[in-house]
Amino acid sequence: MNASAWNMLLEGAWTTLWISGVSIAIGVTAGLILALIRIARIPVIDQLLVLYISLARATPLVTLVLFIFLSAPTFGIQLERSMAGILALTLNTTAFNAEIWRSAFRNFSREQREAAMATGMTPGITFRRIMLPQMIITSLPGLINEMSFLIKGSPAIAVIGIVELTRVTNRISAVTYEPLPPILVACVLYMAIIGCLVWAQRITERRATRLAM
């Protein structure tokens, strides 16, 4: 491959990285908020969230990307391709993250909550100082796994014309008639991105274990 092909691959990797990164950041936070709302069991709202989570988890990502991009103009909303891609990825990962956070909350020790309340802590302080740090640690493997799935599923945004890593690979293959080199490079780049996530997870878990000792 020539220098131009390498530059295209790196640009495609950057597009994949920043779109996935924004979606992950929003999705993790929004997922926590939705999990807390579901735990509160507010009538009607809880049923609507259950419906959203079920639909988002069941809908193929490429279908969700197409639906958002093509249906937005119907409602008078003009979305750029990148924004439509981010919105689709965010809606998808938020649904999965909400269930991961909700599971961590439900598995949290009731005795710890009761002990914190007995010392005079308010529910808000108990959640922020006692529950949330431990929930982050217990949820981390599931969250990292979901992040990895999202990055590996991000080529779905190419269906609306976003030139991400996999689409760049196809373009280079079509020009050079040598599909193997760009595919191998793309595989290495995907592995590097996901490897960084796994590395960050291990570092976080080690530090948390040291603090807990």
The amino acid present at 49, given as its one-letter code, is L
- Count of domains observed in the chain: 1
The string of DSSP letters for 33-85 reads HHHHHHHHT-TTHHHHHHHHHHHHHHS-HHHHHHHHHHHGGGGT----HHHHH
Encode pLDDT of 47-92 as tens digits: 999 999 999 999 999 999 999 999 998 888 888 999 999 999 999 9
CATH number of 48's domain: 1.10.3720.10
Encode pLDDT of 170-196 as tens digits: 999 888 888 898 999 999 999 999 999
Domain containing 149: what range? 3-212
Residue with tokens 């220098």, as numbered in its chain: 3
In angstroms, how far is CA 164 from the centroid of its own chain? 17
Residue with tokens 């996530």, as numbered in its chain: 197
